[in-house]
Structure 1
Amino acid sequence: MKLAILSRNSKLYSTRRLVEAARAQGHSVRVLDPLRCYMRISTDGFEMRYKGAPISGYAAVVPRIGASVTRYGCAVLRQLELMDSYTPNSAAAIARARDKLRCHQVLAARGIGLPVTVFGDNPDDTGDLLAMLGPPPHVVKLNEGTQGNGVMLTEKLSASRGAIETLRGLYANFIVQEFIAEAKGADLRCFVVGDRVVAAMRRQAPKGDFRSNLHRGGSAKAVRATRAEMDTAVRAAKILGLGVAGVDLIRSKRGPLVLEVNSSPGLEGIEAATGVDVAGTIIAHVASHGTSPRKRERNTDLTDS
């Protein structure tokens, strides 16, 4: 199978592992920097070039699109979809997952457990907005932050107001959520491929922090997710249209709650913690769909991104 991986850096661990896994399974694979792809769009067909040369004929594409290039990266992926390449994560699905507010609205509408979340724009409504949420502590998050960046814990009502006023002054989009104290700074990363959780790890925040992201000094160990946790993770990914996803859950008194669904989850932490060949599983899943003789999912998810 002729396979492309959309990634800005071929030396990143996740990209390297996907390339190794693809070659080990006998596929032809190439890493394409999405910012070096450019397109011709016409009613008589779609064309793409990369560093001056035409590219076409990719049976499948694995997107590793960073948050900073979401818009352009999704445009490139959408073009490849229109050129009949299969992808486990469509451009529309990635856009849905990247917008935390939109993601929470979609998941809540389908009954997925979430921390209570509020959102508002006008400063005059801040008091009532926080009253809708309940007493602090509160978690304030940038709407498109990643790896724990732009996430703040406010322990007093005045601190919540101050954080909100500061973000509004910066014209930043953000949400405010309830703080789940019983989680004790830990969350669960369930790695979903297709219709199952292929690996899971428990991440613990370092002392003095509440963010469990490994990039921020958190620790990780393999864990056996419960049936309810696995079902929640798989359902959340499916609702958003993601065939590959890292679903972050917290264990609460009312069951598993989804914190975030990552459309481009890193492989280094999960593979190191669990010993599972996640990259190989992703490639096998993509190959089983990308080589299908049917017309690939063209035009089925392109108008929603």
Structure 2
Amino acid sequence: MKFAILSRNSQLYSTRRLVEAARGRGHSVRVLDPLRCYMRIACDGFGMHYKGRPVSGYDAVLPRIGASVTRYGTAVLRQFELMGSFSPNPSDAILRARDKLRAHQLLAAQGIGLPATVFGDNPDDTADLLSMLGPPPHVIKLTEGTQGAGVMLTEKLSASRSVVEALRGLYANFVVQEFIGEAQGADLRCFVVGDRVVACMRRQAPEGDFRSNLHRGGSAEVAEASAEEAATAVRAAQGLGLEIAGVDLIASQRGPLVLEVNSTPGLEGIEQATGRGIAEAIIDHIAGRVISRQ
């Protein structure tokens, strides 16, 4: 089977592991920098070149598209889709997941538990907007932030108003959410492949912080998702149209809540924490899906 991996850096851990897993399963695999792909779009067909040569015939394309190249990267992925290649995470699904506001609206509409979230645009409505959420602490998130960047905790109402006003002054897109204090700075990263959770780790925020992201100094240990947590993670991934996703859950008094659905989850932290071959599970899933389409 012929695989392409869209990645800007072939030396990244996740990209290297996926290449290793694909070749270990006997597949042909090539890493393509999406920014070096360029396209011809016409009613008589779709074409793609890469560094001066035609690109075609890939059975499956696995996107590892960073947030900074979302627009162009998803356009390249869409071109592959139009040329007949299968992707476990389609271009439109990635766009849904990257926009936190859109993702929350879609998941909430499907009855999936989330922290209460508010969003508004006019500065005159800030006080009433925050009253819709309830008393602080509040979590304020940029809608396109990643790895914990652009996430702030405000403990006083005046601080929430100040941050909201500052972000509006910068024309930033953001949401404000309730703070789930009972989680005590911990969350659960569930790695979803297809219709199951193949690995799970519990992440703990470092002292003095509430963000548990490993890139922010959080720690991780292997964990087992409960039946309810696993079902919530799979529903969240499928609700956005993703077959491969990192779903972050937080424990609350009303059950597991979805914090975020990551369409390009890293493999290094969770493979090291759990000792599981997630890259192999991904390749096996994609190969099975390609065969089922034939």
**Counterpart Cα distance in 2 of 1:114 and 1:79:** 33
Q: Which has the higher contact order (CA 8 A, sep 6+)?
A: 1
1:37 partnered with 2:49 = no
**Counterpart Cα distance in 1 of 2:204 and 2:215:** 12
1:272 match: 272
2:156 match: 156
**Counterpart Cα distance in 1 of 2:238 and 2:255:** 19
Report how far residue 291 of structure 1 moved: 3.2
1:70 match: 70
Amino acid in the other structure paired with 1:178: E
Matches within 5 A, 1:82-93: 82-93=82-93
Question: 5+ unaligned residues in a row in structure 1: which ranges?
Answer: 295-305
**Counterpart Cα distance in 2 of 1:176 and 1:67:** 21
- 1:77 alignment partner, SS class: helix
Matches within 5 A, 1:239-278: 239-278=239-278
**Counterpart Cα distance in 1 of 2:120 and 2:293:** 47
Report how far residue 78 of structure 1 moved: 0.3
2:190 match: 190
Report how far residue 293 of structure 1 moved: 4.7
Amino acid in the other structure paired with 2:117: T
TM-score of the pair, normalised by structure 1: 0.96
2:94 match: 94
Q: Count the aligned residue pairs.
A: 294
Question: 5+ unaligned residues in a row in structure 2: which ranges?
Answer: none
**Counterpart Cα distance in 2 of 1:236 and 1:224:** 18
- 1:120 alignment partner, SS class: coil
Amino acid in the other structure paired with 1:105: Q
- 1:255 alignment partner, SS class: coil
**Counterpart Cα distance in 2 of 1:290 and 1:146:** 30
Matches within 5 A, 1:223-242: 223-242=223-242
1:297 match: none
**Counterpart Cα distance in 1 of 2:12 and 2:216:** 18
- 1:247 alignment partner, SS class: strand
- 1:252 alignment partner, SS class: coil
**Counterpart Cα distance in 2 of 1:10 and 1:158:** 46
Per-residue CA deviation, residues 136-186 of structure 1 (Å, 9 max, x unaligned), is: 000000000000000000000010011101111110000000000000000
1:141 partnered with 2:138 = no
Q: Root-mean-square deviation (CA), in Å?
A: 0.6
Per-residue CA deviation, residues 118-147 of structure 1 (Å, 9 max, x unaligned), is: 000000000000000000000000000000
**Counterpart Cα distance in 2 of 1:174 and 1:256:** 23
**Counterpart Cα distance in 1 of 2:201 and 2:165:** 36
Q: Is the 8 A contact 1:59 1:291 kept in 2?
A: no
Report how far residue 290 of structure 1 moved: 2.0
Report how far residue 272 of structure 1 moved: 0.4
User: What percent identity do the matched residue pairs reach?
Assistant: 77
Matches within 5 A, 1:162-201: 162-201=162-201
Distance 1:243 1:293, change over 3 A: closer
Q: Is the 8 A contact 1:87 1:290 kept in 2?
A: no
Kindly report structure 1 stretches of 4+ aligned residues shifted beyond 4 Å: none
